[in-house]
Amino acid sequence: MDAWGMIAASAAEAPPDLEGSADGRRVIILGAGLAGMTAAYELAKLGYETPIIEARDFAGGRCQTARRGFVQTEVTGRTQRALFDEGQHFNHGPWRIPYHHRSTLHYTREFDVPLEIMVNDNPNAWAYREEEDGNPFSGERVRIRELRADIGGYTAELLAKAVDQSRLDDELTEEDRERLIDYLVSFGQLDRSALEYRGTGGRGYEEDPGAGLNPGVPSDPHAFRDVLSHGAINSFRAIDSHTQKNTMFQPVGGMDQLARGFERAVGHMIDYGQEVVEIRQNDDGVRIVVEDRGTGETREVEGDYCLCTIPLSVLNQIPSDLSPEFSQAMNQVTYASTGKIGLQFGRRFWELDDHIYGGHTITNLQGIGNITYPSYGWQEQKGVLQGYYNFGSDAIEVSAMTSAERTRFALEAGSKIHGEAYEREFETAFSVAWHLIPYSLGGWASWSSDARQNAYPILNEPDGRILLAGEHLSYMTGWMSGAIESAWIQMEKIHQHAQATATRVQEAA
Amino acid sequence: MDAWGMIAASAAEAPPDLEGSADGRRVIILGAGLAGMTAAYELAKLGYETPIIEARDFAGGRCQTARRGFVQTEVTGRTQRALFDEGQHFNHGPWRIPYHHRSTLHYTREFDVPLEIMVNDNPNAWAYREEEDGNPFSGERVRIRELRADIGGYTAELLAKAVDQSRLDDELTEEDRERLIDYLVSFGQLDRSALEYRGTGGRGYEEDPGAGLNPGVPSDPHAFRDVLSHGAINSFRAIDSHTQKNTMFQPVGGMDQLARGFERAVGHMIDYGQEVVEIRQNDDGVRIVVEDRGTGETREVEGDYCLCTIPLSVLNQIPSDLSPEFSQAMNQVTYASTGKIGLQFGRRFWELDDHIYGGHTITNLQGIGNITYPSYGWQEQKGVLQGYYNFGSDAIEVSAMTSAERTRFALEAGSKIHGEAYEREFETAFSVAWHLIPYSLGGWASWSSDARQNAYPILNEPDGRILLAGEHLSYMTGWMSGAIESAWIQMEKIHQHAQATATRVQEAA
């Protein structure tokens, strides 16, 4: 297998610029998710034949959007059909595209998928603490802006006073100290002479400044100790983490519009409803046994290479000729248990009553996590809100409920924050538990540092004529860019191998 | 004038809920800006006759959008015609609707004006410092995210260490200290044991984490002293100021879509191209002398009341029967000199090359201020960027230039940050200098605290049968909500007076 060359770190911005031709080679692609469709699209440009075997009846893999008529059956046999109104939708899979996921943005541009802003931070949303003895915010909702202003103000005050009184034996010069105090006064909105935090307009007003004789009524800050005891402050950052920073996008009309974009280009290559039951290979090629989910009949698909984008959680249950070392490596990754619920309400009470437009309410309600308001259809009548986003054991517990029970669970939690409107305006729900979804069996790959070190490099290499691709083969697990860029890297390996072996054949001839 | 009752602070959310009928009264409204159209729309519902006298050929007042064919002539006689491509536009007047401007959002909903997000904060935009001796960032562009992460991290480190070493003789309990350190570790992304800031993913990577064997290359923080010397840090806040907070909106297609919404409802009441040349009143009514800008002919319009929304900068030059006290009060307000320029580029290099989608690049370039990237048409080919937004003496200096000179000024400045693409891709420009725009003569009213105390209350009262309305009669000067809510308050006064006097007439009969 010396024909597998070394690949330099792939550019994340655009697919590799490959030369040469396919020389009649055929790459069997397993899975019409973003990784599979990316590889098919780019390899087909070079002339490769790239049939895609897809178990589902639609393309996109986990890049799905629930809208009216969308049907989902869990491995438990539990089936849900989305009953949202026409025009409403819920991204129960991926839902965010950060500005630096250039590979994803490459394809939204390539396939003319219009984008809109996904509001990923809204200081006017609520921070809610479950009822708890001794917690000053027990059972209360507080605007995030108040907490962010107050903790920022109080800590700026503490530091400014210490610097002012030279109580820090640091190495700051007098000029540095002055600049630092200037910054802290601005950052915390401190009183300039007393260096005290006394509240700020940014935390909100008791009564907003208005017209006429209404200058507004400022609000009083919470007590420092109370703010310190509010767990939500530990989610505040000087700068949002890499993946959560503005500018954040979503495709207009739902995340699946990206999948539809790919499908317009490669849909004719996809064989839907075909489950992979065996993956075979020898030195000359690959042979995939597939079962038609409709007829139950099996057939064989042959090719020169196989690019397998099936999640490892599923792949490790399929009989194959993968080497023992490779199979063992596959078993070292775990997949995230995670669930979401979309709740359609007949009236956007969060906009009309609470003045919350997008973003997340932070809760410590177990199994709920954040509640997220829709970033589409501003000021329209109805909307679909994300009622929970849970992980790990929380996700497993909630997913053990029936759909109706999950809905009830979400409504009871949300009512603690939004009151009776949450029950009154509720119309219909759609929930997902990714660990129970056939052909996914998990939200995304979770690499332990040990597995990342020992198993991950093996899985990035070809095993004979079989290569893997997908978000699991990236340091952006759970993100669409991980799937796309992984496909770019692996298809380049296939092409290089094909070129190298083609050349040798020609030389021999 | 005892029939003018006291008005309780107006609700900012919806127009006052008024009862009773107009009793055949006629309110002459001067100005078809947002204040004038708001009053006409609401008073007409009660049955008032509300002719609107408008000097311009279009409605909206300062709520304008420059798009292909838009013509603007300054008081200097300098005329510009916008040559932007079809589909491109530039909000040279108001450009932002914060989520809490409920009165504005009331009318976007009422008139079905679709909204989209205006990206008002983008940490991936640049902070640029003019070349300057001794400034470590002299002539350099730095990502805002780096500065925000670094100053947040270093200050968190300073405070965390001081708290940890009990160098603050504050009144924190041991539990408070622990919570404070937890918060600071999260906020500043400090190393937990050393309490040191060593950089964080949120500031960006040397090389982003990718797929395959690319875990990413972290970036090193700037030196604390260097960051302290970067003036841009003084624009950072624990929470954005009241008017600048997320969620921020703009109407799809341009801010003037809000004006068009009003116009659909009240356009038939507007008499365009009519300049007010005299404002007269007696105890029984008002008489407005208007001059047709086309024919130069004058005529008189009579009514029971006059609601005058003409900016005070213009109104104080119109002969009127306003009382000396009132006129004197009007002269105490100044109007903001302010300018903007929209630059159309043939290629969105800021998106494609710099990965900046909306938001502002912060500069200390005199006359430039912030450079703002468009929040519409993501990933399209062309776009209109805001090349400067200046105020005060800067605005006056720049506005003294010809249009071509202003463009050159903006391009030279922007090239310092964006390089040659800024010149190469430039196509056409449109600039505004609000202090030179007829019928506006300024961006917005600027109240000194003295004038706010002494003159402002007088102007909020009726002067005979004449009342004022507009952003100038609000504590939200420069914002559309100020104009709308001012109209709500003043129209209520008119209605109450009309009701009170109508009742008396009936009683007398």
pLDDT in tens, B340-391: 999 999 999 999 999 999 999 999 999 999 999 999 999 999 999 999 999 9
Please say if the pLDDT value at position B505 is more than 60.
no
Question: Which of B369, B377, B360 shows the shortest CA–CA distance to B395?
Answer: B369
Residue-wise DSSP of A357-405: -SEEEEE--TTT-EEEE-SSSTT-S-EEEEEEEEEHHHHHHHHTS-HHH
Distances (CA, A) of B180 to A152, A157, B160, B496: 11, 13, 8, 55
Q: Is A492 helix (H, G, I), strand (E, B) or coil?
A: helix
Distances (CA, A) of A387 to A48, A111, A120: 44, 31, 15
Give yes or no for A258 touching B (CB within 8 A).
no
The more confidently predicted of residues A87 and A2 is A87
The packing angle between helices B102-110 and B480-508, to 10°, is 80
Other C-beta atoms closer than 10 Å to the C-beta of B174 total 8
Whether residue A347 contacts residue A381, with contact meaning beta carbons closer than 8 Å, is answered with: yes
Residue given tokens 């393309």 in the structure block: A59
**Which pLDDT band, with edges at 50, 70 and 90, does A204 fall under?**
very high
Average pLDDT for residues A267-277, to the nearest whole number? 98
ipTM reported for the complex, 2 dp: 0.95
Tokens at residue A42, please? 């780019």
Report pLDDT for A166: 82
Would you tell me which residues 356-415 of chain B have a C-beta closer than 8 angstroms to some C-beta of chain A? Answer: 356-359, 375, 378-379
Average pLDDT for residues A132-142, to the nearest whole number? 90
**At A115, which helix (H) or strand (E)?**
strand A115-117
Distances (CA, A) of B256 to B34, B93, B95, B96, B120: 10, 9, 10, 12, 19
A436 by Cβ neighbours in 10 Å (0-12 / 13-18 / 19+) ranks as buried
The conformation of residue B189, written as its DSSP 8-state character, comes to T
Tell me if B357 and A229 make a contact (CB, 8 A cut-off). Answer: no
Please say if the pLDDT value at position A388 is more than 50.
yes
Report pLDDT for B1: 40
B-interface mutation test, from A137, A165, A246, A353, most B Cβ less than 10 A away? A246
**Which pLDDT band, with edges at 50, 70 and 90, does B450 fall under?**
very high
Give yes or no for B213 touching A (CB within 8 A).
yes
Which residues of A fall within a CB distance of 8 Å from B99?
124, 355-357
Whether residue B435 contacts residue B329, with contact meaning beta carbons closer than 8 Å, is answered with: no
Tally of residues, chain B: 509
A44 by Cβ neighbours in 10 Å (0-12 / 13-18 / 19+) ranks as middle
pLDDT in tens, B255-266: 999 999 999 999
Report pLDDT for A6: 54
pLDDT in tens, B165-182: 888 867 789 999 999 999
> On the CB side of A150, how many CA atoms lie within 13 Å of its CA?
22
Tokens at residue A148, please? 């962010």
In terms of DSSP bridges, do strands B27-30 and B52-53 run parallel, antiparallel, or are they unpaired? parallel
pLDDT in tens, B40-53: 999 999 999 999 99
Please say if the pLDDT value at position A3 is more than 70.
no
Report pLDDT for A179: 95
**Which pLDDT band, with edges at 50, 70 and 90, does A398 fall under?**
very high
Q: Which residue of B has its CA nearest to A144?
A: B239
Give yes or no for B5 touching A (CB within 8 A).
no
Tokens at residue B87, please? 């589909």
Report pLDDT for B7: 52
Q: Please name the amino acid found at residue A261.
A: G
**At A301, which helix (H) or strand (E)?**
strand A298-303
Please say if the pLDDT value at position A75 is more than 90.
yes
Please say if the pLDDT value at position B27 is more than 80.
yes
Give yes or no for A250 touching B (CB within 8 A).
no
Report pLDDT for A171: 76
Residue given tokens 């970033």 in the structure block: A375
pLDDT in tens, B207-217: 999 999 999 99
pLDDT in tens, B70-85: 999 999 999 999 999 9
**Which pLDDT band, with edges at 50, 70 and 90, does B134 fall under?**
confident
Provide the sign of the torsion angle of the four alpha carbons A435, A438, A443, A444, taken in this order. positive
**Which pLDDT band, with edges at 50, 70 and 90, does A10 fall under?**
very low
Average pLDDT for residues A430-449, to the nearest whole number? 98
Please say if the pLDDT value at position A236 is more than 60.
yes
Report pLDDT for B2: 53
Q: Going from the N-terminus, what domains does chain B have, and what CATH number goes with each? A: 27-61+257-333+444-508 (3.50.50.60), 71-123+245-255+336-436 (3.90.660.10), 138-239 (1.20.1440.240)
Mean pLDDT of chain B: 95
Tell me if A457 and B167 make a contact (CB, 8 A cut-off). Answer: no
Distance (Å, whole) CA A210 – CA A95: 37
What residue ranges in A126-273 does DSSP mark as E strands? Answer: 126-128, 141-143, 205-207, 217-218, 248-251, 270-271
Report pLDDT for A7: 52
Would you tell me which residues 72-131 of chain B have a C-beta closer than 8 angstroms to some C-beta of chain A? Answer: 99-100, 102, 105, 108-109, 114-117, 119, 121-124
Tell me if B204 and A114 make a contact (CB, 8 A cut-off). Answer: no
Report pLDDT for A504: 53
Report pLDDT for B10: 46
Residue-wise DSSP of B362-416: EE--TTT-EEEE-SSSTT-S-EEEEEEEEEHHHHHHHHTS-HHHHHHHHHHHHHH
Cα B273 versus chain centre, distance: 26
Report pLDDT for A177: 94
Cα A202 versus chain centre, distance: 30
Please say if the pLDDT value at position A508 is more than 60.
no
Q: Rounded to 5 degrees, what are φ and ψ at B268?
A: -70, -15
Distance (Å, whole) CA A221 – CA A327: 58
- Residues pairing with A340 in the sheet: A389, A432
Please say if the pLDDT value at position B480 is more than 70.
yes
Lowest mean pLDDT among A3-7, A351-355, B57-61, B153-157: A3-7
Nearest CA of chain B to the CA of A236: how many Å?
6
Q: Please name the amino acid found at residue A190.
A: L
pLDDT in tens, A97-113: 999 999 999 999 999 99
pLDDT in tens, B281-295: 999 999 999 999 999
Distance (Å, whole) CA B287 – CA B320: 10
Please say if the pLDDT value at position B9 is more than 60.
no
Mean pLDDT of chain A: 95
Q: Which residues are CB-neighbours of B419 under 8 A, at least 6 positions away?
A: none
Distance (Å, whole) CA B153 – CA B159: 10
Question: Which of A154, A177, A120 shows the shortest CA–CA distance to B238?
Answer: A154
Question: Which of A89, A460, A21, A471 shows the shortest CA–CA distance to A253?
Answer: A89
Please say if the pLDDT value at position B497 is more than 80.
yes
Please say if the pLDDT value at position A9 is more than 50.
no
Report pLDDT for B273: 98
Report pLDDT for B135: 85
Q: Which residues are CB-neighbours of B187 under 8 A, at least 6 positions away?
A: A151, A155, A233, A236, A237, A238, B152, B156
